[in-house]
Structure 1
Amino acid sequence: MIALLWNGILVGIGATVLMDIWAFALHYLFGQARPNWAPGGRWFRHLANGKVFHDSIGTAEPYEHELALGWTGHYVVGIIYGVVLVLAMGPGWLASPTFLPAFVWGIVTIAAGWFLMQPGMGLGWAASKTPNPTKVRIIGLLTHTVFAIGMWGTAMLIR
């Protein structure tokens, strides 16, 4: 069980690192905004006070270390997703990882962003209040596909 947890942590870290490389590549190659986890850090901080939904996270009370908290939260969530996948699939999957379970789980995990974090930050359900919700959703699906590739790839490396 301990080995599964450690492997799950590694799978989550590897997947999150690949997702961040993808995000920076989108920035440098296509001019997408750089990853900025400060608003997420502010949102995570307000969760500790029981406040989940904001009209706009930008108008919520700032937190001095929100960028660091955002990046930390981002990796903690990625690690949790990796651990859940590994525990659900078990040692057999780690011995011979297949892409489909990682892909399905990677796509399922976007629900937390679409139906909890985005509305919680005032962006609406599945980014419905953003200037281009379809673009945000497509980039999210692609990013979670990259995350899935990262989970599978990391499992392949550690098997």
Structure 2
Amino acid sequence: MELLLKGVAIGTGATVLMDLWAIFLWKVLGQARPNWAPVGRWFWHLKNGTVFHDDIGTAQPYAGERALGWIGHYAVGILYGVVLALIVGRAWFAAPTFLPAWILGIVTVGAGWFLLQPGLGIGVAASKLPNANTVRFLNLVAHTVFALGLYGTALLLR
């Protein structure tokens, strides 16, 4: 139970740091803010067995899709934190290191590239977007920030 609670804590902390990073990109660099509504719509349509859409914007809307997108965003971040906690065990929490958190952070980019982005209709690793390489780079950076959040939160829990 202790590992599960620590996993929830580091997953939450990492997701908050990732969101703070997005705010920094928006305020300082003029990057568009994340729009969690399409992700919420995608989650909503999973209940019908629809994983992949040609264009999530043309899928049936759901009134609470933005809220569901935010909930999904945090649920996935927490899930990743729990997975890390179960993989590394109690010893890692006694003396956290960055490498396991970073490996998980980079591995989880794959869920976005090979599940979520094709599910939204933007192709594998955002291949249908005109700025696909920029999106891929930003995904890697965001997941590195997520990994820093996992590690940093674990340090705080020590």
Q: TM exceeds 0.5? A: yes
> Aligned to 2:33, what secondary structure does the other structure show?
coil
Aligned match of 1:51: 50
Q: Aligned-pair RMSD on alpha carbons?
A: 0.4
TM-score by length of 1: 0.99
Query: What residue is the counterpart of 2:115 in the other structure?
Result: 116
Partner residue in 2 for 1:71: 70
User: What amino acid is aligned across from residue 100 of structure 2 in structure 1?
Assistant: P
Secondary structure of the 2:89 match is: helix
Establish whether residue 36 from structure 1 lines up as the match of residue 67 from structure 2.
Answer: no
Q: How many residues align?
A: 158
Distance in 1 (CA, whole Å) between partners of 2:13 and 2:60 is 33
Post-superposition CA distance 1:25-65 (Å, at most 9, x none):
10111111111100000000001110000000000000000
**DSSP 3-state at the match of 2:66:** helix
Q: Distance in 2 between matches of 1:124 and 1:145?
A: 22
Matches within 5 A, 1:8-157: 8-157=7-156
1:77-100 CA-to-partner distances (Å, cap 9, x unmatched) read: 000000000110000001100000
Percent identical pairs in the alignment equals 64
Runs of 4+ deviating beyond 3 Å: none
Report Cα offsets for 1:97-155 as digits up to 9, x if no partner.
Answer: 00000000000000000000000100000000011100000000000000000000000
SS in 2 for 1:74: helix
Query: Which amino acid in structure 2 is aligned with residue 145 of structure 1?
Result: T
2:38 maps to a residue whose letter is: P
In 1, distance between residues paired with 2:41 and 2:130? 22
**Cα distance in 2, alignment partners of residues 33 and 119 from structure 1:** 20
Distance in 2, matches of 1:129 and 1:95, equals 44
1:12 is aligned with what amino acid?
Answer: G
- Report the Cα offset of residue 156 of structure 1: 0.3
TM-score by length of 2: 0.99
Distance in 2 between residues matched to 1:62 and 1:22, nearest whole Å: 28
- Stretches of structure 2 that go unaligned for 5 or more consecutive residues are none
Unaligned stretches of 5+ residues in structure 1? none
Distance 2:35 2:27 in 1: 14
